[in-house]
Amino acid sequence: MKFSRGFSVLAVICCLGPLASAATPAKPNIVFILADDLGYRDVGCLGSNAYKTPNIDALAKRGMIFTQAYAASPLCSSSRASIITGQYPARIGITEAVCHLPEVRLREAVQARASADQKSLSNNSVTRLSANYVTLAETLKAAGYITGHFGKWHLGAEPYSPLQQGFDVDVPHWPGPGPAESYLAPWQFPPKANFTGKSGEHIEDRMAKEAVKFIEANKDRPFFLNYWSFSVHAPYEAKHSYVEEAALTMDEGFPRHNPVYAAMIHSLDDAVGTLVKTLEANNLIDNTIIVFFSDNGGVNWQAMKNESARRGGNSMTEPYVKIPPTSNDPLRGGKASIYEGGTRVPCFFVWPGVVSAGARTEAMIIGPDFYPTLTEAVGAVLPVDQIMDGRSFLPVLKGQSATARDKIFNFFPHYVKATGQRPAASVRESDWKLICYFNDGPEQEDRYELYDLHEDLGEANNLADAQPDRVKAMSAVLARFLDDTKATVPGPNPEYNPKVAASESGSINNSNAKAGVSAAKPQADPLMRWKLRGCNGTVKDGILTLEPITKKYLMAFAPPKLSGPLVIKFRVRSAKDGSGKVEWLVSADQPEPSSVPYDLTGGDWRDISITPPGHSPRGR
């Protein structure tokens, strides 16, 4: 039994340790707040202009902000499993958000087949967190803590629920990926959950109230409150009053300006404020550790390839459905992407009397590190026969060290069609980050991307060809990690067909969050590098369709050096009457572009032909 190990170790400690006296300070309580899909820049203290988070910002000021904190995966289930076990997803085998599916799979395996357009096979992820792990909750429970889980779990239904993983309380006892169809009651939780609400009640308000009951019922004993919020995961909906309030202050000039998403963050911020105020009212705040973290990066709509994916399978409130919920700028990518936007997340650690208020650190930490850190902080004992990938960053919290670890790893062996993600693994070492795309080279060999994050935070300049020695050294480090964790590494797809792959690659999107640069091109010319700003585009049957996101949008290209006569020709059609213009720059230092306007009549195709005399188009 997994509990027996923890209790036997505790018994030895009690025999060897001194008896507690009346003067012995109580063990600190722990409140772990985990947001869902909250992007790195979605909170005020980390750069959000439009989305207001006064309670979260006030919490951050009480402790230490980690500017280089990473989720162990760009998807939720694997990230959550890493936090609660202290292990990398590569070792656990939960590498995808599939723990709500009916199939129980406790061992990861490479898929037997893949479609002909994919160079690599993908993995079948584990779908449940095995009850054989000694979880953080069980370790704290063995140390005398009462434990409660509130909100999203997404690591398996019974017999893999929080109640079988060390938690005394689990509300609402729900294994699904989101808040049972809706944030606003009536919810669709199963009858067994015994969790209902008044019509219109917000799930985050209710979860905070349930957590308050737990705090007040256990204020005289050490408790571990695991508050894993449903916010701000899809479906994109919120309190109507909050949406209306946010709409009055949104500015299209800011990268984040969706009123619905702002209202969702508002409710998350309310919940954080409720928890903190309850701790203060019960004189617990000075003896409570509070962690704030996100399970992965924010959703990057501009990198998604279809409307269904962008909506998360749910319609955002009109008229805001075409406004991206967030932007991870200057980070590239987002949720379901191994780039920084998918894994770098907001993180604060509060511990009055130990962690200096207002502190800020660039020390790198990752999800598995919380287990050993919290265990050491409260004097609990790690399980002796469970591998611990996490490293305690307690010395950083106490100001005794500027670093916690020198390497960050990520393993994501899956295709995600919506974001263009391919099976990959990465290692960050100092300021350098190497991404290995499995079997993605011309001959289905591994393909590498190398970035200097100090100079290129947006991961726009791949230095792999320029620095082969660094690629070789870092790839060896990554290979050792994959070997040590016994990761299930996907192999090449024997049924890969380049012709099929070429016919399937007809989408354009803003996959580069920093520059809005698309890697795909709407024509065969390999010299053209197209950019989309303020819109998304798809190519079907040779026709490029642009879908506006903002009022003003553009498609641009940078051709090779041109000379001689030049004519720009294209055929265009608009659903409504409108206007456009062709702009170009003679040189990069030209202050203003030259332009030629044109009008459009809704519904009709129009052939446009423009000859810019003496000019070589270089920009828009």
Task: Measure the CA–CA gap between 167 and 596, rounded to whole angstroms.
Answer: 66
Which residues lie below 8 Å from residue 511, measured CB to CB, with a gap of 6+? Answer: 302, 303, 332, 333, 419, 420, 517, 518, 519
Average pLDDT score over the chain: 85
**Spacing of C-alpha 518 from chain mean position:** 21
With CA atoms as reference, report the closest residue to 300 among 455, 516, 99: 516
DSSP 483-544: HHTT-----B-TT--HHHHHHH--EE----TTT-B-SS-SSS-TT--EEEESEEEEEETTEE
Alpha carbon distances (Å) from 436 to 172, 319, 408, 447, 461: 39, 40, 14, 6, 15
Alpha carbon distances (Å) from 398 to 89, 307, 489: 28, 47, 38
Report the alpha-carbon angle 360-279-204, nearest 5. 85
Pairing assessment for the beta strands 407-412 and 123-124 based on DSSP bridges: unpaired
For residues 132 and 190, the model is more confident at 132
Model confidence at 535, pLDDT cuts 50, 70, 90, reads low
- pLDDT confidence of residue 45: 93
Both tokens of 227, joined, read 């508050």
Both tokens of 139, joined, read 């370790």
- pLDDT confidence of residue 560: 54
Helix, strand or coil for residue 96? coil
Residue 215 has phi, psi (to 5 degrees) of -60, -50
Pairing assessment for the beta strands 109-110 and 359-361 based on DSSP bridges: unpaired
Maximum alpha-carbon separation in the chain: 91
Name the helix (H) or strand (E) containing 343. helix 340-343
Helix, strand or coil for residue 289? strand
Report the alpha-carbon angle 52-56-57, nearest 5. 75
Residue 144 has phi, psi (to 5 degrees) of 105, 10
Does residue 125 have a pLDDT over 60? yes
- pLDDT confidence of residue 487: 97
Model confidence at 523, pLDDT cuts 50, 70, 90, reads very low
DSSP 400: S
3-state SS of 113-181? CCCCCCCECCEECCCCCCCCCCCHHHHHHHCCCEEEEEECCCCCCCCCCHHHCCCCEEECCCCCCCCCC
Does residue 513 have a pLDDT over 90? no
Residue positions counted in the chain: 620
- Residue found under tokens 């919810």: 187
Map out the domains of the chain with their CATH numbers.
2-85+133-402 (3.40.720.10), 423-484 (3.30.1120.10), 509-610 (no CATH)
Model confidence at 262, pLDDT cuts 50, 70, 90, reads very high
- pLDDT confidence of residue 100: 94
Predicted confidence (pLDDT) per residue in 277-312, tens digit: 999 999 999 999 999 999 999 998 765 544 444 444
- pLDDT confidence of residue 576: 77
User: Which range among 19-33, 230-244, 334-348, 430-444 shows the weakest confidence by mean pLDDT?
Assistant: 19-33
Does residue 11 have a pLDDT over 50? no
Task: Measure the CA–CA gap between 78 and 96, rounded to whole angstroms.
Answer: 6
- Residue found under tokens 């002796």: 384
User: Which range among 64-73, 114-123, 186-195, 242-251 shows the weakest confidence by mean pLDDT?
Assistant: 186-195
Task: Measure the CA–CA gap between 348 and 205, rounded to whole angstroms.
Answer: 22
Model confidence at 620, pLDDT cuts 50, 70, 90, reads very low
Phi-psi region of 563 (alpha: psi -120 to 50; beta: other; left: phi over 0): beta
Residue 174 CB coordination number (10 Å): 25
- pLDDT confidence of residue 550: 57
Q: Percent of the chain at pLDDT above 90? A: 64
Pairing assessment for the beta strands 359-361 and 64-66 based on DSSP bridges: parallel
Predicted confidence (pLDDT) per residue in 451-509, tens digit: 999 999 999 999 999 999 999 999 999 999 999 999 999 999 999 998 877 766 544 33
DSSP 187: P
Task: Measure the CA–CA gap between 74 and 95, rounded to whole angstroms.
Answer: 9
- pLDDT confidence of residue 588: 44
- pLDDT confidence of residue 310: 47
Name the helix (H) or strand (E) containing 58. helix 54-61
Name the helix (H) or strand (E) containing 432. strand 432-437
Task: Measure the CA–CA gap between 398 and 488, rounded to whole angstroms.
Answer: 37
User: If you average pLDDT over residues 539-555, what whole number do you get?
Assistant: 67
Strand ordering across the sheet containing 447-452: 407-412, 424-429, 432-437, 447-452
Phi-psi region of 27 (alpha: psi -120 to 50; beta: other; left: phi over 0): beta
Residues 47 and 289: beta-carbon distance below 8 Å: no
